[in-house]
Structure 1
Amino acid sequence: MKIAQTSARTLLAITTAISVALPAFANAAELNILTWEGYADASFISKFEAASGCKTNSTYVGSNDDFAPKLAAGGGVYDIIVPSIDTIGLMRQADFVDPIDTSKIEGWADVYPEFSAANDVAVDGETWSVPLVWGSISLMYRPDKVDPKPDSIGALFDPKYKGKVSMWDDKSSIYWAARLLGFENVYDLTDEQLATVQAKLIEQKPLIRKYWATAGELTELYANQEVWLSNTWTGLQSKEINNLKKGFEVVEFTPKEKAEGWMDSMQLVKGSPNVDCAYKFFSFMLSADGQCGIVGSTGYFPVNPKAVAGCLKGEEAEAKKVNNIEFVKSLVMWQMPARLDKYLEVWNAVKAAQ
């Protein structure tokens, strides 16, 4: 994979915002984390706080597109952010984060090298993020409502499900439409291809009940029987929906166009005064308590197979792809788009279309 380059216009807009409103930081021994639902569950974060003496405060995002505006606007107090692999490069290019000293992180050597040495994680001999958890984005549906059994992204665009479809409110919707249309390099689409994708997504809009922003929102849409078919964060929302026992179940599947793959990693916000606590947090999240904890709360896959040897065994380890790095290679792994500003422009145009 090549390292995508964000346009000068995008970076200029971000860095200008930084100069206007730099965030204030919390007191020492207190970590403020901008992360995802389930990534700071009390069931395991409490162990970190007790062992380290560092208090944590977590704010949740619904999309990778949230990180840059929140940091640039100074709308919160953050020491650690947890963006996905297609966004960490932008955080570095915009000068939001500091490089990572991996010698201070216990468990670093046990992380899958496919992640610890991935593009944008490692750049020019420096490390810019700490891999945390990974997984895929698949499709999900109600088998009692969707017939025949779907096997393609095309199900999300089928007119017979008008008003019962939901898509993630994220620029990755462009990737889904692009793959359905047969475009191969979905992270570097031409203007003509992007125009075709935009038209396809606007054509889909009458089918959309709502673009979902958080895991909880999609769960509610299914629970209230407003949605029958969607994309989903594999392993998380299906578990939550089925646990509600609403008289129906949802099923996930990998479309014939393949599933997307992602990896979320931790980054140190530039100038944080809580570096000691941050490195303790990095080490904890790569430990058995951290990796088993986040896998248990989200259903996602661990980045440190050695750390989960005690909590994931047999079929459960197989389901979480422990030591199955070949699965990563079967996915369409996220990258930062070569023209991020253009992709965001297209996605915003889709949402604004009537």
Structure 2
Amino acid sequence: MTIKKTMLGTLGLLSLTASPVLAEGTINVLTWEGYADPSFISKFEETSGCQVNATYVGSNDDFAPKLMAGGGVYDLITPSIDTTKLMIDLDFVEPLDTTKIEGWNDIYPKFLALDGIQKDGAYYGMPYVWGAIAFMYRDDAFETPPTSIADLWREDLKGKISLWDDKSAIYVAARKNGDMNIYSLTDEQIAAAQKSLVEQKPLIRKYWATAGELVDLYKAGEVVISNTWAGYQSSLLADEGIKVTEFIPTEGAEGWMDSWMIVKGSPNQECAYKFLNMQLSEQGQCGVANVNGYSVANAAAAKSCMSPEQFKTLHQDDPDYLDSLLIWQPLGDRFEAYTNAWNAVKAQ
């Protein structure tokens, strides 16, 4: 069964209500928290004449169902590199006219070489930000700092552990089990990961879905260890005076890269390309880096708007840092197997 047929069959079971198509001069973006933050979006709206309406997702698995139901609601999306190819294969997005995007040639060549954002010689995704799915703990809860994924299975931490509500939980459990081929797991390995997650479930306080939800759990002292979007939730907690530490476990961490994509048939092309140009400029790149703490895709913009310390901390001087991470990959026809396993865990 093809990816497209599988997804269409799955999504056909969902009942979602679409919003009205937005007026010309307005762009509706389906994106992650922080990617349309008023701290840099407000200036764009003032200077461009384009109004931005943002709807936020908590998982890459949100994009396909919302676009399937959308009927022209969304103009731009920002899926991660394991999901961009699916958007292309499902015919949800259209090729970019890269000649309209200033700074395109300043994007790290490593990102432009990725298969997941291109097809038949055309680019469908504009690399935007990247980083790691690290792990995090509250400093005051540990005398000895945790170092392993296995620490999320500790009985003495029962009720104080959280895990992202996402199919990537299968990746986490697989690495704990010693299966490092996390994007090409066999049925047996997926079953083993599912079993480990079911065993962990009584220890979980809550599966977190949004950055704000995880931050609130840490602030209340209800959670002391979890995985995290590296740089983001830890910075939000620091602003609240909560001391946390991020770490890459001995079993390694996943890496990701998010790209902006234009939804096929968007009537707001002029504003869409103005928005893409802003997001790849110093305004957008340092805007999102300052809000989310993520690394960015435009090396020249980063160097111009970041302090030398921030540039180094975000590995902007060392994009090969990505090679040390297990970069998300499309799951192809295995997508359903991973998703079903994760949903089965939550249904227990």
Q: Which TM-score bucket, shorter chain as reference?
A: over 0.9
Higher alpha-carbon deviation: 97-106 or 23-32: 23-32
State the aligned residue count: 346
- Secondary structure (helix, strand or coil) at the match of 1:261 reads strand
In 2, distance between residues paired with 1:167 and 1:15? 25
Which residue does the alignment assign to 1:136? 132
CA contact (8 A) 1:292 1:308 kept: yes
Residue 223 of structure 1, CA deviation: 0.7
In 1, distance between residues paired with 2:45 and 2:238? 32
| Identity across matched positions, percent | 52
Residue 27 of structure 1, CA deviation: 1.6
Which residue does the alignment assign to 1:267? 261
- Equivalence map 1:273-288=2 (5 Å): 273-288=267-282
Which residue does the alignment assign to 2:342? 347
Which residue does the alignment assign to 1:74? 70
Which residue does the alignment assign to 2:305? 311
Letter in 2 for 1:352: A
Query: Is structure 2 residue 220 aligned with structure 1 residue 216?
Result: no
In 1, distance between residues paired with 2:199 and 2:131? 29
Quickly say closer, same or farther: Cα 1:326–1:348, change in 2 above 3 A. Answer: same
Which residue does the alignment assign to 2:162? 166
Given the two structures, how large is their TM-score scaled by the length of structure 1? 0.93
Higher alpha-carbon deviation: 71-80 or 210-219: 71-80
Query: Is structure 2 residue 101 aligned with structure 1 residue 105?
Result: yes
In 2, distance between residues paired with 1:8 and 1:33? 23
Letter in 2 for 1:301: S
More helix by share: 2
Quickly say closer, same or farther: Cα 1:166–1:39, change in 2 above 3 A. Answer: same
CA contact (8 A) 1:17 1:73 kept: no
Quickly say closer, same or farther: Cα 1:351–1:75, change in 2 above 3 A. Answer: farther
Quickly say closer, same or farther: Cα 1:8–1:268, change in 2 above 3 A. Answer: closer
Which residue does the alignment assign to 1:233? 229
Unaligned runs of 5+ in 1: none
CA contact (8 A) 1:288 1:308 kept: yes
User: Of 82, 91, 94, which aligns to 2:90?
Assistant: 94
Quickly say closer, same or farther: Cα 1:220–1:23, change in 2 above 3 A. Answer: closer
In 1, distance between residues paired with 2:18 and 2:12? 10
Quickly say closer, same or farther: Cα 1:204–1:16, change in 2 above 3 A. Answer: closer
Show CA shifts across 1:317-342 (max 9, x none): 10011131110111100012131011
In 2, distance between residues paired with 1:39 and 1:136? 17
- Secondary structure (helix, strand or coil) at the match of 1:192 reads helix
- Secondary structure (helix, strand or coil) at the match of 1:336 reads coil
Which residue does the alignment assign to 2:47? 51
Unaligned runs of 5+ in 2: none
Which residue does the alignment assign to 2:319? 325
Letter in 1 for 2:86: L
Residue 131 of structure 1, CA deviation: 0.8
In 2, distance between residues paired with 1:21 and 1:250? 39
Residue 76 of structure 1, CA deviation: 8.2
In 2, distance between residues paired with 1:23 and 1:144? 45
In 2, distance between residues paired with 1:214 and 1:15? 22
Show CA shifts across 1:99-134 (max 9, x none): 111111111100011112212112221111111111
Letter in 1 for 2:347: A
Given the two structures, how large is their TM-score scaled by the length of structure 2? 0.95
Residue 69 of structure 1, CA deviation: 1.1
CA contact (8 A) 1:234 1:300 kept: yes
Quickly say closer, same or farther: Cα 1:22–1:314, change in 2 above 3 A. Answer: closer
Higher alpha-carbon deviation: 213-222 or 109-118: 109-118
CA contact (8 A) 1:6 1:337 kept: no
Higher alpha-carbon deviation: 250-259 or 307-316: 307-316
CA contact (8 A) 1:11 1:93 kept: no
4+ residue runs over 6 A deviation: 20-23
User: Of 243, 247, 251, which aligns to 1:257?
Assistant: 251
Show CA shifts across 1:181-218 (max 9, x none): 11122111111111101000000001100000000000
Which residue does the alignment assign to 1:290? 284
Residue 73 of structure 1, CA deviation: 2.0
Query: Is structure 2 residue 28 aligned with structure 1 residue 7?
Result: no
Letter in 2 for 1:300: Y
Quickly say closer, same or farther: Cα 1:269–1:75, change in 2 above 3 A. Answer: closer
In 2, distance between residues paired with 1:17 and 1:92? 21
Quickly say closer, same or farther: Cα 1:201–1:47, change in 2 above 3 A. Answer: same
